[in-house]
Amino acid sequence: MKKILTSSILLCILFLTGCIKNELTVFTSSAVEFDAATWNANAAGLTYPMMTRVPTFNAATPTSQPTITRTTTSVTLRVNLVGAQSSSDINFSYIVLTGESTAEAGTHFTLPSGIGTIPANSSFGLIRIDLVNTGVSSSTPKDLVLQLTDNSSIRASKNYAKVGLRISQL
C-alpha cells in the first residue's frame, strides 16, 4: 500500500507540475523623463509633483534642500534617458504649460529655450530655469509647470513627463 501511495504521489508531482517558459521582456526603445528626485510624490489633486524645494542631487535629506523662493537664482532639473545610451547627442523638447502655470515668463522666470540636450554616451541632461526676483513680496506663490514633449529624436515618458515648481514670493 505504501508503494502504491508513494508511486501515486510521485506521478502526481511529475504530471501536475511543469516548467513555464518565461518570455524575456526587453525595452528596446528610448524615452526621456524627469529625474526621480522630482516625482517621488504627486501633489494633492495633480498628476505630477509640485516641488517646493530646490532639487539637489544626492542630498542627505529632503529638508536639507533650500526652499524655492523669488530670491533663488536658478533651479536645475535633471532629465533622464530611459534606454540605451547614444553615441551622439540627443535633443529633447519641453514646454511651459501656460494653462496650469501662474508664473509668467520674463516676470518670474526665464528659460533659455524649449530644447535640452543629453550629451553623447550619457544618461541624463539638464534644464536650467533662471528665477527672476520681482522685488515685490506677496503671500501668493507662483507655479511653473513644465512638460517634456515628443520630438523627432525621442519620445517623452507618459508617466513622468510633467513637473511643477512652486516659487514662493516671500
Grid coordinates representing 6 are 508513494
Most confident of 10-24, 34-48, 58-72, 115-129: 115-129
User: Mean pLDDT lowest for which of 6-10, 13-17, 42-46, 91-95?
Assistant: 13-17
User: Mean pLDDT lowest for which of 14-18, 65-69, 123-127?
Assistant: 14-18
Q: How far apart are CA 96 and CA 93, in angstroms?
A: 11
Q: How far apart are CA 161 and CA 85, in angstroms?
A: 19
DSSP for 135-160 reads S---SS-EEEEEEEE--SS-EEPSSS
Q: Is residue 56 pLDDT above 90, yes or no?
A: no
pTM: 0.78
> What average pLDDT does the segment 38-59 reach?
78
pLDDT digits 0-9 by tens, 92-133: 999 999 999 999 999 899 998 899 999 999 999 999 999 998
Q: Mind listing the domains of the chain with CATH numbers? A: 30-167 (2.60.40.2030)
Q: Is residue 91 pLDDT above 90, yes or no?
A: yes
